[in-house]
Amino acid sequence: MIRLLLPALLLLAAAPAAAEDGRAVFEARCASCHAVVAGAPPGAGPNLAGVVGRRVGGDPGFGYSPVLEAAHEAGRVWDAALLERFLADPEEMFPGLWMGSNGLRTADERAAVAAFLRTAW
């Protein structure tokens, strides 16, 4: 019985750790341009508080590149999978993007940042 419960317990324990790891990666790589506090003004990039479940290009206080405006009009919505794909190579996903980033190198970093952004409200 314990052998059956151990994997589930490890997954539950990993979720907060992933978000905390993601916070560290976010602060090192993203926070200079993006806020994650609800109501904070956008910086060089949009405020990402509540980004998961929000339409792409959905911060009303930010002026997006045309490619993100088109994604917004098309009804694309950020979820963890879309965020992880975006974080791998933003320019590949949205050619013409105004964001100056080469993405996050490892799948672990991308998953951790996506986990952190799910908690950022």
pLDDT tens-digit profile of 48-92?
999 999 999 999 989 999 999 999 999 999 999 999 999 999 999
Say what the pLDDT of residue 120 is. Answer: 85
Say what the pLDDT of residue 10 is. Answer: 37
pLDDT exceeds 50 at position 101: yes
65-98: buried (b, 16+ CB within 10 Å) or exposed (e) per residue?
A: eebbeebbeeebebeeebbbbbbbebbeebeebe
Percent pLDDT > 90 in the chain is: 73
Q: Which of 2-6, 15-19, 25-29 is the least confident region?
A: 2-6
* Model confidence, pTM: 0.79
- Which fold would CATH assign to domain 2-119? Cytochrome Bc1 Complex; Chain D, domain 2 (1.10.760)
